[in-house]
Structure 1
Amino acid sequence: MHFYQVIIGTEILNRRRRDKHFDFLTEELLKRGETLYASFILEDDRSLIAKAFELVKSDPESVMFSFGGIGSTPDDLTRQIAADVFTSSPLEVHEEAKRRILDQFGKDAFPHRIHMAELPRGANLLDNPVNNVPGFSLESRFFFVPGFPKMAHPMIRQALERLLPDAKPMVRRTFTALVSENDLIEMMQKVPDDVTLSSLPAFCGSRRIAVISLSGKDGGKIDSWYKKFIEFMNEKGIGWIEGDRHNDLDICRTQA
């Protein structure tokens, strides 16, 4: 699955609010052995949001988590755009969503809050633990939640539990090689596709080093390739340290 994140809010781009969704979602995905495929922060612009949703829709492997814009104010555009892009149908009153909003607000649901029950055709609800106004999903893979983290994050956990009920955390092994990453390319080229390789060049003082990460869902395979790298470095006389130590200047000096 390709996991997309769409964060909608001019207030984040102009720094009136600080984004809290990116770190949250990436951590939740890692707990389940997954990573983001792409992330977007978008202005409250109808055309721009529609283009982002169209991009996600065009990927047959896509799963999307969209944050923000499902309220009842004039700048809340997400519900209508989601209906246009994903259902090609007008918004419809979702009776269960309507009931929840009326239970929460009573007569104060009118004249504005009640419009939050107008959802794209075929929407399934996500529970809101704060004020009972639900988020929603389409096709069990496009998830739409409010911008408020206290509301949004429990909904995302609920969505992930439905989507990945048997998920296992990603296994990762990391080491710092006290050479340029160029000296490790021979080994990098041998790593199979089901092992994710990350190579981050850095300077430790004035010395070039490389932080190498191997990750995947098969812990045995990750450990095996970690050992192969260590054997390769030992044979070549390359110094290395377990973990990401690119900021540890004292160790770099002792290994110089």
Structure 2
Amino acid sequence: MSRPATAAVIVIGNEILSGRTKDANLSYIAAKLGEAGIRVMEARVVPDVEAAIVEAVNTCRGRYGYVFTTGGIGPTHDDITARCIAAAFGVPFGRNEEAERRLRGYYDPDQVNEARLSMADMPLGVELIDNPVSIAPGFRLENVYVLPGVPKILQAMVDGLVGSLEGGTPIASRALTVYAPEGEMAAMLAGVQARFPTLDLGSYPFFRQGRFGTTLVCRGADTLAVAQAHAALVEEATRMGVESAVFDAATARDDALPPGPIRP
């Protein structure tokens, strides 16, 4: 691809902005793209409003190599994403014959109705994205990939298409988790960051099993540098006498904070 391997994710839906539904798609897309060497540089959440969707799509598609939208391609009146993509590109909008064929083949004849068939209404000239879970396809138009909002369906579709994307060097990541407040680790982390300026080093505080701690993360395309930065973090944390923390994946979630002041 002529542009760098970067991406934006646009999450579409009033239900996200109202707090009624928690987004579960951004982190999945970002992780899968990272494995392919495509870095998510921006994420937006926009309402089911045509002007907002069109503006977000047009801004992001000119700025990044890939744009992924989630939500708004179902069978109800407020599923307007496909129509908005057509408006953003200035192309006709109508029934996609192949998408309609797939839908008619999936449902029993007495289950086919116009609401379901409306999921075949798309901009002219799109490439369909297979949906192995519930058949209704997403689509791609130039560098914009339009996906559903249901996490199970989206994940299956992302898994199927990520191998076809032209990425860069996969992003490597190493983490060190310690029982120490973030404020106590900040100076050390800044020092290691200065030694490895091409990497992204971050700190993420937590409260688990009744104790405060911090996860220190190194990320970058240079696998050797990531390993060296991680080793430097381990060395510095050991020198500071900080206790390391190991969590089972099933228990690695924050507990409720205790009453009283919090000292990062």
Q: Assess same fold via TM > 0.5.
A: yes
Other-structure match for 1:25: 29
Tell me whether 1:190 sits opposite 2:192 in the alignment. Answer: no
Alignment of 1:103-114 (within 5 A): 103-105=105-107, 106=109, 108-114=111-117
Other-structure match for 1:254: none
Moved more, 47-56 or 212-221: 212-221
Other-structure match for 1:149: 151
- Number of aligned residue pairs: give it: 239
**Is residue 128–residue 154 contact of structure 1 (8 Å, CA) maintained in 2?**
yes
| TM-score of the aligned structures, taking structure 2 as reference length | 0.73
Other-structure match for 1:101: 103
Tell me whether 1:222 sits opposite 2:226 in the alignment. Answer: yes
Other-structure match for 1:54: 58
In the alignment, which of 66, 88, 91 is matched to residue 63 of structure 1? 66
Cα separation, 1, equivalents of 2:35 and 2:172:
7
How far the C-alpha of 1:115 sits from its partner, in A, is: 3.0
How far the C-alpha of 1:8 sits from its partner, in A, is: 1.6
Cα separation, 2, equivalents of 1:94 and 1:101:
11
Cα separation, 2, equivalents of 1:169 and 1:42:
28
**Is residue 83–residue 119 contact of structure 1 (8 Å, CA) maintained in 2?**
yes
**Is residue 37–residue 167 contact of structure 2 (8 Å, CA) maintained in 1?**
no
For structure 2, list consecutive stretches of 5 or more residues without a partner in the other structure.
248-253, 256-264
Matched residue SS, 1:89: coil
Residues 76 and 155 of structure 1: CA distance in aligned 2, closer, same or farther (over 3 Å): same
Tell me whether 1:80 sits opposite 2:83 in the alignment. Answer: yes
Moved more, 238-247 or 170-179: 238-247
What is the percentage of aligned positions where both structures have the same residue?
A: 25
How far the C-alpha of 1:14 sits from its partner, in A, is: 2.5
1:151-181 Cα offsets, whole Å, 9 max, x none, are: 2221121121211589756231435496341
**Is residue 94–residue 119 contact of structure 1 (8 Å, CA) maintained in 2?**
yes
Cα separation, 1, equivalents of 2:144 and 2:82:
12
Cα separation, 1, equivalents of 2:246 and 2:43:
25
Residues 230 and 129 of structure 1: CA distance in aligned 2, closer, same or farther (over 3 Å): closer
Moved more, 101-110 or 1-10: 101-110
How far the C-alpha of 1:201 sits from its partner, in A, is: 6.8
Other-structure match for 1:250: none
Amino acid at match of 2:120: A
**Is residue 172–residue 216 contact of structure 1 (8 Å, CA) maintained in 2?**
no
Residues 240 and 78 of structure 1: CA distance in aligned 2, closer, same or farther (over 3 Å): same
Alignment of 1:110-121 (within 5 A): 110-121=113-124
**Is residue 126–residue 139 contact of structure 2 (8 Å, CA) maintained in 1?**
yes
Other-structure match for 2:14: 10
Cα separation, 2, equivalents of 1:36 and 1:73:
30
